[in-house]
Structures are given as structure tokens and as C-alpha cells.
A = this chain, B = another copy of it.
Amino acid sequence: MASMMFTDCSSSTTSRLIHFNRCTGTILRRQSAGQLRLPTTAPGRRSCSLSIRSSSSPTPAISAVTNSEASAIVIDGKAVAKTIRDEITIEVSRMKESTGVVPGLAVILVGDRKDSATYVRNKKKACDSVGIKSFEVCLPEDSSEEEVLKSVSGFNSDPSVHGILVQLPLPSHMDEQNILNAVSIEKDVDGFHPLNIGRLAMRGREPLFVPCTPKGCIELLHRYNIGIKGKRAVVIGRSNIVGMPAALLLQREDATVTMIHSRTKNSEEITRQADIIISAVGQPNMVRGNWIKPGAVIIDVGINPVEDTNAPRGYRLVGDICYEEACKVASAITPVPGGVGPMTIAMLLSNTLISAKRIHNFQ
């Protein structure tokens, strides 16, 4: 898991205002230009959920409040993921009855990172819940690359395994790329193989699998009947795992896509042009209300822990988008947690089912 970051919910440009009006400084400026329908703060109401960036101030977190002026539809990833799991359950059962084949997902875990162990446990649970058979290999931290490759190879040739997942990160003495490349492309349910990404980028080509998190983002748009064709879309972050494939997917659906990254100048201005924003940058509350065009749709992939002394664990999770501001400007928004998060595993199950169907030529 990424090291914890603490935030004041202010962009760096507005941080100097923090002692006076932590969340509304830039908002008020935008309001004076008459471009955004953002709220003023009022008694008994708060416009932003705050915690304090530890480097700039030792003040403890101020916790969240009501969103009485929120106008955005909340895109309920948890509910959509549940619906998808139900659909998969039916399909897995239908496949088993027709062909006798049960889709199988194998996970390879190396080392004893607690977060990785939790992810793997959650994946196993999710498989169980839909009737997908799960396989697991746990190797010690000091395993050799050859041992991992041997496990990959075993699952590649195992006909009861239709999807293979190597839990990342791997120990630093291993060549991650080498190991991922060893996964048979027919079973690469993560969809990270360059051949898959190439097909995703090319018109007229079809990837075998679409990477799970970006697939989940687009699925949320589809399930909420949010049109993509002809829309301006901004993807914040250009990782191989989320940002880049999300941009390619939006492009495939005829959006006009701009990818924003660490070298981008005027990120705010560019984001403000977007009808659809997908953010996957890992910066808590980076995107403020005044970055958002009124009526935009926001998919927030970020899951960032921020200090919160009122929370049972001393922290809580927030997205890349300052939710309390954004929900008053956007027309629809994913919450964190409960937005994109649950979709990733649902899409992994979906990819495993797709793989099993393809391998066994079952429609």
C-alpha cells in the first residue's frame, strides 16, 4: 500500500490561503467570475471535508460533514459491482450446466505483504461468491524468479485455470516484466500484456482482455447510461494500469480524450473543459471544485488514506477529487470508497468468465 499522505484539500496554488479559508479560497475566486455554481459556506454547513497535510501543519484532521447542497448523482460502484457479480453467478452456473466446465482463476502471491495478502483473500472470496474456482500459490519472499516462473508455467498449462494473476508488487530481486510476460496471453485476465494494450490502442483490433480498473470505470458510465461518444474526456494520470488504458477505452468509444500528467501545464484549465473526468493519480483531493465544469461526470479511481483522528484507524480514505466540492458541481460522481474500488474485482471475475467461455467456445 502506498505510504500515507495527508492533505488540506487545497491545490498548491491556494495553500497560502489555508489559514483563513481552507477550502473556499479558490472557489470564491471562481464564483466571482460567475462560471461555477459553487456554494458559499454557511452556518451549520461545510463545503469541504478536510484533513491537514502533515508537512505544512501539525493540526489534526477536521472531519467530514453533510453535503446538503450536493446535486450530483452518486455513482454507486458497490451496487453495480453486486449486480455484475449476480450476472456472473448466473453465467458461471449456465456454463457449468452446459459444458461441465467451471471457470478458474489462479493467483500467485510472493512474500508476506499484508496488503497483498488482503487483496488475494478478497479475490478468493469474490471468486467463491460467484462460483469461480480459485487457485492460489503462496511463495516465500526469498523465492527465486525461476520458482515464480515455474508456477506461472504450471497454471499456463493447467486446463482448469482460465485466468492467471501475479499479485504485484513482486520482491525487488525479481524482474516483474519478465514474470508478467510469461503469463499466457490467453489467460492474462489483468490485460496488461503489451499485445493486449496494442490491440486496445488500434482501431479494428480487439484486445483479449481489457484491464480491470479502467474497464470498471467505463462499465460504470455504461450502467448509468452516461454517453461517451463525442464527449470531451480528461484522464488524470497516465499509469500503464489505469490512466493510459482508460484513455484508450474512452478513445475507442469516440470521446475526445486528453491525458493529463505531471508535466502538464494548466491542468485545472484543461480539466475544466471535460464532460467526463477519470482521475487515477493518487493525490488526495487534488481536483478541486473549480477544476470541474458544471454537469461533468466524475470517475475517481484514487484511494488515498488521509489522517483522521476521529476515524477508528486514525485515517480515512479519500479520492483524487475533493468530493465535497465536486458533488456540488458535477452531475454524477463516484464516491471513495464505494465507487470504482468494488468494480475492479467484479471486472476480474468478468474477465475470468470471458476467458473460460472463449477457451471452451461457449456463448
Contact = CB atoms under 8 A, between A and B. Distances in A.
Given A198-B196, A230-B265, A263-B230, A203 B244 contact: yes
A257 B256 contact: no
How many copies, total?
A: 2
- The CB with the most chain B CB atoms within 10 A, among A204, A229, A238, A270, is that of A238
A266 B258 CA distance: 14
A238 B266 CA distance: 24
Interface centre among A201, A205, A248 (most CB of B within 10 A): A201
Contacts of A118: none
The 8 closest A-B pairs by CB, nearest first: A198-B198, A194-B198, A197-B198, A254-B263, A258-B258, A256-B264, A230-B263, A202-B240
Contacts of A205: 177, 194
A82 interface: no
Interface of A: 177, 193-205, 229-230, 232, 238-240, 244, 248, 251, 254-261, 263-266, 270
- Most B C-beta atoms less than 10 A away, residue of A238, A240, A244, A256: A256
A32 to B, nearest CB: 24
A265 B197 CA distance: 27
A193 B198 contact: yes
Contact of A240 (B177, B204, B265): B204
Contacts of A203: 238-240, 244
A259 B204 CA distance: 17
Contact of A257 (B177, B258, B266): B258
A268 to B, nearest CB: 13
Contacts of A263: 229-230, 254-256
Nearest to A234: B258
Given A203-B240, A232-B265, A256-B264, 6 more contacts: A196-B198, A197-B201, A197-B202, A202-B244, A238-B251, A257-B259
Contacts of A197: 197-198, 201-202
Contacts of A259: 251, 256-257
A270 B256 contact: yes
Contacts of A230: 263-265
Contacts of A229: 263
Nearest to A196: B198
